[in-house]
Structure 1
C-alpha cells in the first residue's frame, strides 16, 4: 500500500501547492463496506500532515493542514430510526443510504466550500460513538487552517437515491473509490462485527454482512459516479487489524 499512498499523497500535495489561499482542496474517498476506505483516507491525511511539518518544522504539532472527516457521524440516531414508518426494517438496514442524514452532510460540505477569510470560524462534524451506537454532534473540529479535507464514507460517489449525495460529490475536487472483491469484504466485515459486538458470533456476523452490508455495497458499485482514482484493495495475507481492512492497494487512474 505504501507505494500507492505515496503517489496519492504526492499528487494531492502538488495540487495543493497551486491552490489559492482562500480555497480548500476537498477529496471524497468511498467504497463498499469492508473495502478499506477508512484506512486509506486516514493514512493519506496523516501523511499529508507529516509532509506539511517537514516543510514547516516551526509549526506547532497540532497545526494540521489536512483533516480526516468520516461520514459515520451522519448515521441517523436510533431514535430517528424508531420514528420511521417501518422502524424494524430501518434498524435492520442501518448503514443503508436511507439511514444517513444526507442533507446535513451536504450542508457541511457547502459551508466548507465557501472561501476562507479572516472571519472563517471552526466548523464541526459529528462523530459516531460505537459504544452508545449513536452519533455525537459537533465532535470533529475542522479548523480554518485545515485546507485539505479528506472525506470518507460509503456513499460519497453515489449518483442515485437522495440527490444530496450526488450534489455533495459534485462539490468535491476529486472522488476516489476503493474497489474490493466481495468475498474479501465479507471476511473483513465478519471479523469487524464480532469485534465491535454488533454480532454475537460468526453466523450472525455473516448474516448481517450478506443481508445488509453487501446489499448496500452492490448499490454503491452499480450507481457509482465517474471517479478520479480507483484503488484496488486485495487480500494477500499482509493485513493487520490496526489497518482496519486495507491490505494492499493497487491504484489506477480511471478515464
Structure 2
C-alpha cells in the first residue's frame, strides 16, 4: 500500500465516528516508530487529529527489571507492564470527554516518562506501535482486541539489523556490545514476533513508503 492508501484506510475506519486505535507491530528495528509518527502526522495534516502513543512507554523501569532479574534482556515480552498498556488503550478508546495522559520512552536515558503524551478530546485516532501487539498470550490477546486494527511493519532483515545495531551504538552501547545485544536479545524476540505476522489486519512494506528512518525505528 502507498502512504496515501494507508491514510485513506484509517479515514475509512474513523468514518463511523468512534475514536480509532491503530496498532503497528513488527520486529525490533523494522520501522514501527517511524511509520507510527509518519501516520499520525499525515492523518492530522489531512484533518483527522491523531496522536502517537508508543508501547515503549510501558517498559518496566530499570530498577524493577533489576529486582526481577530481567534487565539483561530488556525488551522481552515480560519486561513490559502489559496490563497497564491494556488499561491505557481501553481508556484512550473510551474516554473522549477529557485528556488521557500516556507515558513516553526516552531513549537517551532508556526509561519511561509518565504523563508525557496528552490524548486530547478532539483526537480521532491513536496510533500505537510495539513488538508484541499480536502475541497470543494474555493479556496481549486483550491488547489486540482493544485496537481497531493492527498492522505489521515488514522490512528486509539485512536493513533492519543494520539499523538496529546503529541505534544501540547511538544510544550508548559499544559496537561489539551492540552486535551481541542484537544477536542474544533482540533477535530471539524477533523470532517470536515474526511468528505473529499472519494475525495482522494488514502487512505494510516499510521500504515502499516515503519514510526517513529516525532514531526511534
Instruction: Tell me the SS of whatever aligns to 2:25.
Output: strand
Structure 2 Cα separation of the partners of residues 141 and 186 of structure 1: 32
What are the residue-to-residue correspondences of 1:191-230 with 2, within 5 Å?
191-197=166-172, 199-201=173-175, 203-224=176-197, 226-230=199-203
Structure 2 Cα separation of the partners of residues 134 and 145 of structure 1: 29
Aligned-residue offset at 1:204: 1.7
For 1:178, the equivalent position in structure 2 comes to 153
Note the alpha carbon deviations across 1:73-129, whole angstroms, 9 max, x for none. Answer: 100001111211xx2xx111000110000010001111123263xxx2111111112
Quick one: which of 19, 31, 36 aligns to 1:41? 36
Note the alpha carbon deviations across 1:60-80, whole angstroms, 9 max, x for none. Answer: xxxx71111111110000111
Given that residues 158 and 225 in structure 1 are in contact (C-alpha distance below 8 angstroms), is that contact kept between their aligned partners in structure 2?
Answer: no
Structure 1 residues 223-232 or 213-222, which shifts more? 223-232
| Cα distance, 1:145–1:177 mapped onto 2, change above 3 Å | same
**Structure showing greater relative contact order (alpha-carbon pairs closer than 8 Å, 6 or more residues apart):** 2
Given that residues 34 and 211 in structure 2 are in contact (C-alpha distance below 8 angstroms), is that contact kept between their aligned partners in structure 1?
Answer: no
Say if 2:100 is the partner of 1:102: no
TM superposition score normalised by structure 1 = 0.79
Say if 2:114 is the partner of 1:130: no
Say if 2:165 is the partner of 1:190: yes
Aligned-residue offset at 1:224: 4.5
Given that residues 133 and 140 in structure 2 are in contact (C-alpha distance below 8 angstroms), is that contact kept between their aligned partners in structure 1?
Answer: yes
Give every structure 1 segment of 4 or more consecutive aligned residues whose post-TM-superposition deviation is greater than 2 Å: 129-133, 180-184, 232-235, 238-245
Aligned pair count?
A: 216
Structure 1 Cα separation of the partners of residues 94 and 16 of structure 2: 14
For 2:129, the equivalent position in structure 1 comes to 152
Q: Alpha carbon RMSD of aligned pairs, Å?
A: 2.1
Unmatched tracts of structure 2, length 5 or more: none
Unmatched tracts of structure 1, length 5 or more: 53-63, 246-255
Quick one: which of 51, 57, 65 aligns to 1:67? 51
Aligned-residue offset at 1:132: 2.5
